[in-house]
């Protein structure tokens, strides 16, 4: 079976408010800008992107499960679920796809409750604190893992 040339882009709770919510932390780019950045980075390498954002954990988990048969990897910014959701981590682990974890801000320089990521141990790529541009780098690095140009 050939590997699909599609990535799932997952953005968790409150990321629909990008450009509005705390612009001093998250900047002025919108979720639409983020999706375009990922689509452009993926297209440059011959990949398509399916994007989902939800404020509901179960919706994200269902999309991750679906990606098991339709996607080659997952780029995810779990938002606050990063620090709280074992079930999201288990969904990512359970589908056995390479994962890139992205955070717009540097979570390790923020409140102490943000310092732990349940996703970190299942992700093969971590891009943290590079703003929305970090999504492009995470996408490129993840594709390198998928196509065998980097170790995952």
pLDDT digits (tens, 9 = 90+) for 21-74: 888 878 889 999 999 999 999 999 999 999 999 999 999 999 999 999 999 999
Place of tokens 């102490």: 112
For residues 130 and 35, the answer to whether their CB atoms sit within 8 Å is no
Residue 105, annotated as binding a ligand: yes
Find the catalytic residue in 28, 56, 65, 103. Answer: 103
- Give the start-to-end residue ranges of the domains of the chain: 6-147
For domain 6-147, the CATH class is: alpha beta
pLDDT at residue number 151: 53
Q: Is 103 a catalytic residue?
A: yes
Would you tell me how many other CB atoms lie within 10 Å of the CB of residue 86?
A: 9
Residue 90, annotated as binding a ligand: yes
**DSSP H or E segment with residue 84:** none
Is residue 149 very low, low, confident or very high in pLDDT (cuts 50, 70, 90)?
A: confident
pLDDT at 105 over 90: no
Is residue 113 very low, low, confident or very high in pLDDT (cuts 50, 70, 90)?
A: low
Q: Is 26 a catalytic residue?
A: yes
């Amino acid at each position: 079976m050939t590997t699909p040339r599609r990535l799932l882009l997952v953005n968790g709770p409150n990321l629909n408010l990008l450009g509005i919510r705390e612009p001093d932390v998250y900047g002025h780019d919108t979720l639409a800008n983020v999706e375009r950045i990922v689509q452009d980075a993926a297209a440059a390498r011959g990949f398509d992107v399916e994007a989902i954002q939800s404020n509901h954990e179960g919706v994200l988990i269902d999309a991750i499960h679906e990606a098991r048969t339709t996607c080659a990897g997952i780029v995810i910014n779990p938002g606050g679920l990063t620090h709280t959701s074992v079930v999201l981590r288990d969904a990512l682990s359970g589908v056995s796809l390479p994962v890139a974890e992205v955070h717009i801000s540097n979570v390790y320089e923020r409140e102490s409750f943000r310092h732990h990521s349940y996703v970190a141990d299942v992700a093969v790529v971590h891009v943290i604190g590079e703003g929305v541009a970090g999504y492009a780098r995470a996408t490129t690095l993840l594709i390198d893992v998928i196509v065998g140009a980097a170790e995952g």
